[in-house]
Amino acid sequence: MEKNMIYDAAIIGAGTMGMAAGAFLAGQNRKTLLLDAFDPPHHHGSHHGGTRMIRHAYGEGRQYVSLVKRAQELWEALEKKSGLKILEKTGVLGLGPRDSVFLKETRMAAEKYGLPLEILSSSEVMKRWPGMTMPKDYIGCFEKDSGLVYSENALKAWKEEALEKGASLVTHSPVQRIDPLVDGIIKIVAEAGVFFSKKVIVTAGAWAAKLMPELQLPIQPVRKVMGWFDASENEFGVSRFPSFYVEDRDKMFYGFPTLNGGGLKLGRTDGGQPIDPDQHVQNFGAYPEDEGELRDFLKTYMPEANGGLKEGKTCLMTQSVDHHFIIDYHPEHENIILACGFSGHGFKFGSVMGEVLAELAIHGRTEFDLSLFSIDRFRK
């Protein structure tokens, strides 16, 4: 490709964050290029598996609440515009010990932002949702206005919008190198060819550290599993049972009601095996704990959902050392923006991250406070 073909913005990694950013940039009449090593949506990253949770009273920190509220608005608008089903307000039920730090932060976030959050005793939880079994010293935090995002539909909708607005998408083309040039233009060497852009946004997920080795990003790709288990629609169906997360002493599990007979979905937010993303394959069951840990959870907390395994999948999660996102400019090149390390709780923010990254690329600023996500926190 000739160098006189210069994009306003090139996005490396056209998953959820990247595709949404592409849609926002193209919508602002920016000449936009999206590059991906695969063809999204696909099964090689972090967006497959059908569903992701969205909750507003945020146990990871009150600083996330403004972002997730805006994310919900954008998901609702995307659903209306695309005609695809993207949101399901199942409510979200969080369970854990009464002294749980995570649930304490959840309650404080709800109080600060006036979010509806019911605090329930263990007996109240089990009465309302008989499929749950929990220790007497546990409490429940139920947020009725939260629920789930249909992840692959969401990505399809952003893809349609980005292409409709004029973005260029190059698939099956891994990026090998990002070279800032002396004239402020960035050269991108990819399998499909060489591209040039004024700005680059790196949303490459588990491959972010490989693309920018000079930054020594403190992130670790991790192999994660999720399973779908045969469960009664009358007890665990989407109209009767909430999306949920459970703090099981030293572990954290999450799950979703069964959708159209697909089975109750269950996974674990922590744990997993560190992995080179280039070595990731769909091999659920390769480790005894893949199904074993999920079974142990079901036996303890949801014995009536401990049915046959309908399906099992693996995915990649990229964990930062402090579990917070990394969203910032490259320390040496202000025309390179990175967004990575979403640590297993980033998907719900995909819509607002697209908006934020486009604002950073176009205006060099955003109204949201991103100080928590600064790369400088690792350099002190």
Tens of pLDDT along 214-229? 999 999 999 999 999 9
How many domains is the chain partitioned into structurally? Answer: 2
- pLDDT for the residue numbered 249: 82
Rounded to 5, what percent of the chain is helix, strand, coil? 35, 30, 35
Using the 3D structure, point to which of 320, 344, 361 is the last residue of a domain: 320
Q: Are residues 140 and 242 in the same domain?
A: yes
Q: What contacts 73, CB < 8 A, 6 or more positions away?
A: none
Q: What is the pLDDT averaged over residues 334-354?
A: 97
**Hey, what amino acid is at 274?**
P
Q: Are residues 290 and 225 in the same domain?
A: yes
Q: Are residues 267 and 290 in the same domain?
A: yes
**Hey, what amino acid is at 323?**
H
Is 59 part of a structural domain of the chain?
no
Question: How far is residue 305's CA from residue 236's CA, in Å, rounded to a whole number?
Answer: 8
N-term to C-term CA, the chain: 41
Is 185 part of a structural domain of the chain?
yes
Is 256 part of a structural domain of the chain?
yes
Is the pLDDT reported for residue 3 higher than 90?
Answer: no
**Hey, what amino acid is at 142?**
F
What crossing angle do the helices spanning 65-82 and 151-164 adopt, rounded to 10°? 70
Can you tell me whether residue 8 is helix, strand or coil? strand
CATH number at residue 312: 3.30.9.10
- pLDDT for the residue numbered 1: 42
Chain segment 4-36, per-residue pLDDT in tens? 689 999 999 999 999 999 999 999 999 999 999
Q: What is the pLDDT averaged over residues 48-68?
A: 96
Residue 318's Cβ-count burial label (10 Å; 0-12, 13-18, 19+) is: buried
Is 196 part of a structural domain of the chain?
yes
Question: How far is residue 290's CA from residue 281's CA, in Å, rounded to a whole number?
Answer: 14
Is 61 part of a structural domain of the chain?
no
Question: How far is residue 261's CA from residue 282's CA, in Å, rounded to a whole number?
Answer: 23
- pLDDT for the residue numbered 2: 47
Of residues 146 and 1, the one with the higher pLDDT is 146
Is the pLDDT reported for residue 192 higher than 60?
Answer: yes
Is 62 part of a structural domain of the chain?
no
Using the 3D structure, point to which of 320, 338, 360 is the last residue of a domain: 320
Strands 193-202, 6-12: pairing kind: parallel
Instruction: Give the CB-side neighbour count of residue 15, counting CA atoms within 13 A.
Output: 28
Q: Are residues 237 and 173 in the same domain?
A: no
Q: Are residues 140 and 225 in the same domain?
A: yes
Is the pLDDT reported for residue 360 higher than 80?
Answer: yes
Whether the CB-CB separation of 61 and 372 falls below 8 Å is answered with yes
Q: Are residues 178 and 226 in the same domain?
A: no
Q: Are residues 232 and 300 in the same domain?
A: yes
Kindly state the greatest CA–CA separation across the chain: 68
Q: Are residues 144 and 243 in the same domain?
A: yes
Q: Are residues 156 and 187 in the same domain?
A: yes
**Hey, what amino acid is at 379?**
R
Instruction: Give the CB-side neighbour count of residue 187, counting CA atoms within 13 A.
Output: 13
**Torsion angles phi and psi, residue 133, rounded to 5:** -125, 130
Q: What is the pLDDT averaged over residues 176-186?
A: 94
374 is in which domain, residue-wise?
Answer: 6-46+152-214+323-378
Q: Are residues 36 and 92 in the same domain?
A: no
Q: Are residues 179 and 282 in the same domain?
A: no
**Hey, what amino acid is at 220?**
Q
Q: What proportion of the chain, given as a percentage, has pLDDT over 70?
A: 99
Q: Are residues 341 and 241 in the same domain?
A: no
Is 58 part of a structural domain of the chain?
no
CATH number at residue 201: 3.50.50.60
Chain segment 78-119, per-residue pLDDT in tens? 999 999 999 999 999 999 999 999 999 999 999 999 999 999
Please tell me which of 137-141, 179-183, 245-249, 375-379 the model is most confident about, judged by mean pLDDT: 137-141
Q: What contacts 110, CB < 8 A, 6 or more positions away?
A: 56, 57, 116, 117, 141, 143
H-only helix segments in 137-276 = 151-164, 208-211, 233-236
In 10 A of CB 372, how many CB atoms?
15
336-366 burial: b if 16+ Cβ within 10 Å, else e: bbbbbbbbbbbbbbbbbbbbbbbbbbeeeee
pLDDT-derived band at 379, boundaries 50, 70, 90: confident
Whether the CB-CB separation of 215 and 222 falls below 8 Å is answered with no
Is 134 part of a structural domain of the chain?
yes
Average pLDDT value for the chain: 96
pLDDT-derived band at 380, boundaries 50, 70, 90: low
Using the 3D structure, point to which of 320, 352, 367 is the last residue of a domain: 320
